[in-house]
Every structure is written in structure tokens, then in C-alpha cells.
Amino acid sequence: MKGDRIPVELSGVSRTLLANLGRRAVAASAKRPLLDDPLAVAAVERLDHDFAETGGASLHALRVATFDGAVRRFLRRHPAGTVVALGEGLETQFWRVDNGSVKWVGVDLPPVLELRRRLLPEEPRAELHAGSALDLEWADGLEPGAPVLVTAEGLLPYFERDEVHRLIAAMAARLPGSSLVFDVVPARLLELVRRGSGSERDAAVELWTWTFDRDERAALAGISGVARLLDLSPPLRLSGVALALRAARCLPRRLRYALPVLPVLEIRFA
């Protein structure tokens, strides 16, 4: 019954996690599921929220699967490595990729973590850190020299450009040898979104503050401590769209970042 559901009291950027959760649930419960994510389906059923706006679930599943693939590759190299999920929200990635030995740190703001604790199971290898992703206090508890992969899914576009650059520079200095996987909003995509309508469109136009193009890619690659900047591809098994996106990697960057998708990139620190 609705009265038994968990209320949601989030605003601003934090509230955008609800649409992402809804899209994962749609992708996981489709006739031909694009994600294996029963926790997302269960979470949607427990929340007192209208998940009507779940368009684009297939494209969202491609982004999620690209992040999952990056984490799985990291864990194949470092089975007991540490994954730090910045702005984790109500993401259920830990359960999708858990190999039985990964150490996990989820970072988000206190109101989000309070909701997460009420909604999702506790795990002994998954700890939560309350605070801003921009404040590297979340790195204080990491074992020096241990292999670390940091993810920032659906997060960095909500920061200012100088905040993103400072975060990346700080990670390069604090976590040498680690990697950062993140998605970006191409400037051309924001132009396209502006022509649309609806509450999600309005939120994107208002809240997306860092956009991406080939010049910005070059700027990130030039930050001290950045060894490589890679464009990641979604797994082919999901759909023909995944094949098209993989083929897009062969396009010149001025065209690659004009596609109506959120590209996923990986920075490897020296």
C-alpha cells in the first residue's frame, strides 16, 4: 500500500537519482532485460514516488552497462581492489558486479545516504561516506598504494568546469596509479535538450553546468598526472544501438561528441 512506501524528500541534483533508478528498473524488467538489476525493480516498488518519466531506458542501460564493464575489467586485474563510487545515490552497481572480495566506498550527501540506508541492504564490504565528492576526505580511509577505481556516473556534469578540473588534479596527486571512469554531457547534446519539454528537460537545462567537446577533452588530457584518457564503449550484447555507439568511436571527435548520448570516458593517472 502507498502508506507503507518510503517517502522521498530530495531536491536539486540529488533528486535526479530517481529518474535514473526508474530507468534501470524499466531496463531490468523488460521482456528482454538489458540489465540484471532486481534490486532496482524492488526499490522502485518501495518508494513513494511517481516514476512516470522513464523514457530513454535503453540508452540509459547502455551507459550503466559501460560503467559495469569498466568495473568488471578492473576487478579481473585486481580482485580485492577498491571501487569508490562518487555520487552513488541509489545505484545498485555493487550487487551487479560483486565478485565476493571487492571493497566498496559509496560517497554522497547525508540526505541521500539516509534514504539509501532505508532502501537498500547493508553489505560488510560496502561502506558509505557522507560528504561531497569534491572533498577528498573520502580518500582518507583508502589503503596507500592499493589498486583503486573511482567512478562518477551521472555526476560531473552538475559541477562547474573548474571544480571538475580541480577534482581530477587532486585525484592525480592523491591517488597515483588509479583510474577514474565518468560520463560527460556533450555541448551539442545540451543544445538538443533545450529544444525539448518536460520536467526532466527543465532540470537538465538548469543543472548541467559542465559540458564537453573535443577542446575540453584536450584540456582534461593536459592536466598534470593524467597519463591516458580513453573513450569507453558499451558491450555489444545489449542492442544494435551499442554496435552503433562502438562504431562512433571511429568518427572524428567533432562528430563523436555530437551524438545524443552521454559518452563514458576513463582517465588513468600516472
28-54 pLDDT, tens digit each:
998 888 899 999 999 999 999 988 766
What is the domain partition of the chain in residue ranges?
Answer: 58-269
Q: Tell me which amino acid residue 190 is.
A: L
Strand partners, 228: 268
Query: Are the CB atoms for 60 and 83 separated by under 8 Å?
Result: no
What is the pLDDT at residue 254?
A: 58
pTM exceeding 0.95: no
Read off the pLDDT band of 1 (50, 70, 90).
Answer: very low
**Which of the pair, 63 or 188, is modelled with greater confidence?**
63
The burial class, CB within 10 Å (0-12 / 13-18 / 19+), for 134 is middle
141-176 pLDDT, tens digit each:
999 889 999 999 999 999 999 999 999 999 999 999
Read off the pLDDT band of 205 (50, 70, 90).
Answer: confident
The CA R_g of the chain, rounded to the nearest whole Å, is 18
Read off the pLDDT band of 239 (50, 70, 90).
Answer: low
What is the pLDDT at residue 60?
A: 87
Read off the pLDDT band of 241 (50, 70, 90).
Answer: low
91-117 pLDDT, tens digit each:
999 999 999 999 999 999 999 999 999
HEC string for 6-17: EECCCCHHHHCH
- Cα distance between residue 230 and residue 23, in whole Å: 26
Per CATH, the homologous superfamily of domain 58-269 is Vaccinia Virus protein VP39 (3.40.50.150)
Q: DSSP readout, 207-244?
A: H---EE-HHHHHHHHTSTTEEEEEE----TTS-HHHHH
What is the pLDDT at residue 62?
A: 86
